[in-house]
Amino acid sequence: MRLSGELDKQKVRQSFSGAAESYDSVASLQRNVGLELIKQAGAESFYGTVLDLGCGTGFISSQIISSNDINQMILLDIALPMLQISQQKLANHTALYVCADAEQLPLASNTVDHVISNVALQWCRNLDVVFADIKRILKSGGQFSFTIFGSQTLQELKLAWAKVDQFQHVNEFYSQNQLEAFLVQSGFKQIEATSECYQTSYESALDLMRELKQLGAHNVLSSRNKHLTTKTQLQRMLTAYEGQFVGSTVSATFDVITIKAIT
């Protein structure tokens, strides 16, 4: 079962291009999740040709590129400014940089030993198709390791907006069971999956909104409200959000699913 609605890929590209300079200043959760992903993937799995899919500003690649067993590091992202920052970070290393959509991989079949992706694939809609294409580019026995936001992510924000209007203001996310089913359907084996909900605290709901903007995590659904949100609507949402909590701070849920699969 796929999620309803389509992603506006031009909006995805614009959002992350615009957030390239500010991303690292607010991406502490993404970095912590990425370090755990590398640990769970296993140091011995990084060899030959490794693809960092949805590389962002290059954090994952910067952590593994020094492995003596990696012959070719490929960094792929839909946003050119993200790739440019990655290239600056990895200036002392040889790598291949590819500006492309993860839903249309411009790589030959059976050429990659490991595909790793850190909280990026939620920006793809048809993950059954994406997983099948990742299976295509992986060599026999190759590994696919990734983290992705799950269905409970930003549930507080979704509830708050539901009190304002009927538009879909928060992107939808797949559940762990759906992801595992897509992997099995694509022919992956030895699938190991775990999930963990992170609660991040903020001084106010507006601080959360500012952080999401700095991360490039906008609502990119084609079915989103195309009209500008009015000050009144925004204030109603902020009031509804903060009304879910007792005390001087609010929190947001980030449901992180970590999966390792073998071809």
Contact, 38 vs 243, CB < 8 A?
Answer: no
Q: pTM for the whole thing?
A: 0.92
How buried is 35 (Cβ within 10 angstroms: 0-12 exposed, 13-18 middle, 19+ buried)? middle
Determine the Cα angle at 167 with ends 218 and 224, to 5°: 40
Query: Tokens at residue 229, please?
Result: 């949100």
Contact, 159 vs 244, CB < 8 A?
Answer: yes
- The beta-carbon contacts of 64-71 under 8 Å, at least 24 apart in sequence, are 64/38, 64/116, 65/90, 65/93, 65/95, 66/93, 67/43, 70/46, 71/47
Contact, 221 vs 230, CB < 8 A?
Answer: no
Q: What residue ranges do the domains of the chain occupy? A: 22-154+172-201+254-262
* pLDDT at 1 (0 to 100): 60
3 state DSSP class of 261 = strand
* pLDDT at 24 (0 to 100): 94
Altogether, the residues listed in the chain come to a count of: 263
Query: How far is it, in rounded angstroms, from Cα 5 to Cα 2?
Result: 9
Query: Tokens at residue 164, please?
Result: 């304002």
Per-residue pLDDT of the chain (263 residues; tens, 9 = 90+): 666 567 777 888 898 999 999 999 999 999 999 999 999 999 999 999 999 999 999 999 999 999 989 999 999 999 999 999 999 999 999 999 999 999 999 999 999 999 999 999 999 989 999 999 999 999 999 999 999 999 999 999 999 999 998 788 788 899 999 999 999 999 999 999 999 999 999 999 999 999 998 998 766 555 555 566 788 999 999 999 999 999 899 999 999 999 999 99
Query: How far is it, in rounded angstroms, from Cα 181 to Cα 185?
Result: 6
One-letter amino acid for residue 242 of the chain: E
Fold type of domain 22-154+172-201+254-262: Rossmann fold (3.40.50)
Determine the Cα angle at 84 with ends 80 and 90, to 5°: 140
